Structure 1
Amino acid sequence: MSDKNIPFTNYLPDIVAPEEEEESYVDYFYDEPGSAPGTLNIEEDATPSTIVLIDYTESKATRKVLPTPDACHPYLESQSVSWVDVQGLGSEAVLQRLGDVFKLHPLLLEDIVNVPQRPKVEDYESQLVIIAWMVMLNEEKEDPDDEAFISEQVSFVLSQNYLLTVQEEPKHDSFDRVRDRIRFNKGTIRKYKADYLAYALIDAIIDGFFPVLEEYGEQIENLENEVVANPTPKTLGKIYKIRRDLLALRRAIWPQRTAINNLIRDGSDLITPEVRIYLRDCYDHAIQVLDMVETYRELAAGLMDVYLSSVSNRMNEVMKLLTVISTIFIPLTFVVGVYGMNFNPERSPWNMPELNWYWGYPMVWLVMIAIALSLIFLFWRRGWFENFSSVDED
């Protein structure tokens, strides 16, 4: 599609960040004992910070990359809506200056930079702070053992005329549709203020959970067939991985639901009553996501029980087969054991006189075959051979 009719200027492609290994659990950040409040901890492999501005009114919209945080000054008090999106947490000087420009409390800046933090909402009078967790499908997944989703922290600082968002890295996010709505003036987003933009982004974050959960729903369905038909130790590893990932999703969505509820219940002067109604729909989506996560966790726990039962049943079938074979050979072993004793028939007429019979050897074979066939017939009549087919599937 040509960009000549698009009302954005300096529309630059997304910056690709280096590939990072994602974590399955959300391990919340904690300060080192004795560290000063407001201390920033920048990870060595963090992506350098890039400041992307989207400024819009109902009639026009502009997108540009700002060279420094000081370039944000003209947009802080403008009548337009300014979305300042900081992508990457690898530049301490940029982040410190950003805190000065936007007059962020040191503890607030610490929560933004020192990730991960627990999702929450805090009111700083002229600013409303929202910390959320965003998850997305891992589109670059090549190996089945790779993580199915990518997660990162997104921080919102809402004021009267601007919205500041801070992401861990610029490569992945769930905001493309919101950007397109602003870019092409779809819907009513450009008719509202910054609080509606914050709602739209939070709603995009919550909706981003659904594709991830659909992926896990398909994995659980495939595992159900595998657990019943052919359970292996590898199957057990898959079940543990799903349970671990679902726990990570639960830890991400549970406090997020509480944070959205606090926005609706406690309110804020920066959020209009009309936008608060939209947040109710967002809260409903969060409840739906949480219900799906809990349902899948119960299914995964059930898969573990089915796996153990299936392995136990297969072991019982193997033991039954071995028992049948052993039972058939026990009387045969007794017969050959008796005739394997070293008694001399010439010393006494009672010392195995049948050893001198002309048909003694064939008679012993006939007796052993008759015993074996009789036992096989008995076990067949009792139905002991009905379930042996499941043992042969491997």
Structure 2
Amino acid sequence: MSRYFKKQKPPKAATADIPAHTPAQSHCPTRLFVTRIHDGRCEQKEAESAADCAPRQGDDFIWVCVQGMAHASQIEEICNLFRIHHLNIEDILNTDHITKLDIFDEYTFLIMKSMTHPAEGDPHARQLSFVLGKDFLLSFLEGEEDLFLPLRKRMLKEFPFFMAMGTGYLAYSLMDMAVDRHFEVLEYIDDEIYKLEEETTTTSTQENLGRIQTLRRKVIMVRRAAWPLRDVINTLHRRDNFIRGEKTGIYLNDIYDHVLQVVDTTETFREVLSNIFDIYLTSAGNRTNEIMKVLTMIATIVMPMTVITGIYGMNFKHMPELRWIFGYPMSLTLLVLVGAGMLWYFKKHDWL
């Protein structure tokens, strides 16, 4: 149970002025990337402190991309600059939080799960939080990988398009990149399942059983990351918020379709892994049957030999063969003939 469920510990101290937080499980250094649009220009830079992330007069829009959750105090300071509620700050800093959506008059707050790239090693889930207001976006991504670098480069070139589409389109782009990462992980799992299936049909080893269980856990992890997004997107469609605008509704439908595809794919993988597990059990059973077959053959061949040697091992006084000069060679010959006859009989009936 402990592998699939982690109980949320209550914060030790939480006040309206000093929000409590739990240390992030990732100790990657916190990096701050600021994108500002003002006076018809788009500027991007990596900030050195939280003060550099503060909104300025004349900004049409500002996006603060926080990469890495190690410096909790710095993250709290950034959130306070944009008047984020202290309970939402706690949720941002608690990287084990479940998928969540809060809609306020001032901003929309969303927590979802992204996945690490398979090229970095064993894929695992990481938390992505973002706060979207009328003219600002704060994104907080756990881990070291800069997932949104391509988006920042694109925004630098196409910022008039982003402004024309509205701030909700940028939030959609973040969600879309996070969901698309699920497909990369599923492709990685698909390759691993194919290799495992090929090996299991030929050889059934204890190592294959461990790999089956590992892939099952990965599929469950992806499913748990994607499944809650269905309810999140449905809620975004039903209620007024800063993500769903006049031009972004159709894009949310696109994410919804991707989420359904991810969930359906995980269900398919679970069925395939169950079939592979059945193949493993069948192969292991067949191997055990083969071993028992060989042992039974040996016992059957040895049984009449044991009877013959038992008869002549009784040591009665009046046994003519005991004093016969050819008694010993003939008994050995008889044992060989019996064994050879049994082998011939088994071969004839294709039991060997």
**Which of 241, 246, 258 is 2:219 aligned to?**
246
Of 300-309 and 323-332, more deviation after overlay is shown by: 300-309
1:367 aligns with 2:334: yes
CA contact (8 A) 2:114 2:181 kept: yes
2:322 is aligned to 355
Deviation at 1:34? 8.1
Distance across 1 between alignment mates of 2:26 and 2:116: 21
Of 62-71 and 209-218, more deviation after overlay is shown by: 62-71
1:39 aligns with 2:20: yes
Report the aligned-residue RMSD.
2.8
1:72 aligns with 2:53: yes
Identity among equivalent positions (%) equals 32
- Distance change >3 Å, CA 270–CA 285, structure 1 → 2: closer
* TM-score under structure 2 length normalisation: 0.89
1:53 is aligned to 34
Matches within 5 A, 1:310-329: 310-329=283-302
CA contact (8 A) 2:126 2:141 kept: yes
Q: Can you list the C-alpha shifts for 1:340-365, whole angstroms capped at 9, x where unaligned?
A: 22223xxxxxx221334454334333
Residue 42 of structure 1 aligns to a residue whose secondary structure is coil
1:221 aligns with 2:201: no
- Distance change >3 Å, CA 28–CA 183, structure 1 → 2: farther
Residue 318 of structure 1 aligns to a residue whose secondary structure is helix
Distance across 2 between alignment mates of 1:225 and 1:177: 37
**Which of 9, 12, 29 is 1:30 aligned to?**
9
Deviation at 1:202? 0.3
CA contact (8 A) 1:43 1:90 kept: yes
Matches within 5 A, 1:264-275: 264-268=237-241, 270-275=243-248
Task: Tell me which amino acid in the other structure corresponds to 2:280.
Answer: Y
Q: Can you list the C-alpha shifts for 1:42-85, whole angstroms capped at 9, x where unaligned?
A: 35973443321122479643211233333334348622x32111
Greater helix content: 2
**Which of 140, 153, 166 is 1:193 aligned to?**
166
CA contact (8 A) 1:82 1:163 kept: yes
Of 38-47 and 323-332, more deviation after overlay is shown by: 38-47
Q: Can you list the C-alpha shifts for 1:120-175, whole angstroms capped at 9, x where unaligned?
A: 2110112011111110224243xxxxxx2143111110111221101223x21432
Distance across 2 between alignment mates of 1:281 and 1:58: 32
**Which of 159, 163, 167 is 2:141 aligned to?**
167
- Distance change >3 Å, CA 24–CA 215, structure 1 → 2: farther
1:3 is aligned to none
- Distance change >3 Å, CA 34–CA 157, structure 1 → 2: closer
CA contact (8 A) 2:12 2:20 kept: no
**Which of 119, 125, 129 is 1:155 aligned to?**
129
Matches within 5 A, 1:66-105: 66-75=47-56, 78-79=59-60, 81-105=61-85
Of 182-191 and 290-299, more deviation after overlay is shown by: 182-191
- Distance change >3 Å, CA 57–CA 312, structure 1 → 2: farther
Distance across 2 between alignment mates of 1:183 and 1:175: 12
- Distance change >3 Å, CA 268–CA 121, structure 1 → 2: same
Deviation at 1:247? 1.8
2:312 is aligned to 339
1:124 is aligned to 104
2:86 is aligned to 106
Deviation at 1:376? 1.7
- Distance change >3 Å, CA 93–CA 365, structure 1 → 2: closer
Distance across 2 between alignment mates of 1:224 and 1:270: 43
Q: Can you list the C-alpha shifts for 1:303-324, whole angstroms capped at 9, x where unaligned?
A: 2222222111101100000100
**Which of 123, 126, 133 is 2:113 aligned to?**
133
- Structure 1: runs of 5 or more not aligned: 1-22, 142-147, 345-350, 386-394
Task: Tell me which amino acid in the other structure corresponds to 2:256.
Answer: Y
- Distance change >3 Å, CA 315–CA 286, structure 1 → 2: same
Aligned length: 349
CA contact (8 A) 1:53 1:65 kept: yes
Distance across 1 between alignment mates of 2:263 and 2:296: 49
* TM-score under structure 1 length normalisation: 0.80
1:301 aligns with 2:274: yes
CA contact (8 A) 1:57 1:191 kept: no
- Distance change >3 Å, CA 58–CA 138, structure 1 → 2: farther
Distance across 2 between alignment mates of 1:373 and 1:74: 94
Of 202-211 and 226-235, more deviation after overlay is shown by: 226-235
CA contact (8 A) 2:31 2:46 kept: yes
Residue 312 of structure 1 aligns to a residue whose secondary structure is helix
Residue 185 of structure 1 aligns to a residue whose secondary structure is helix
Of 177-186 and 35-44, more deviation after overlay is shown by: 35-44
Deviation at 1:190? 5.4
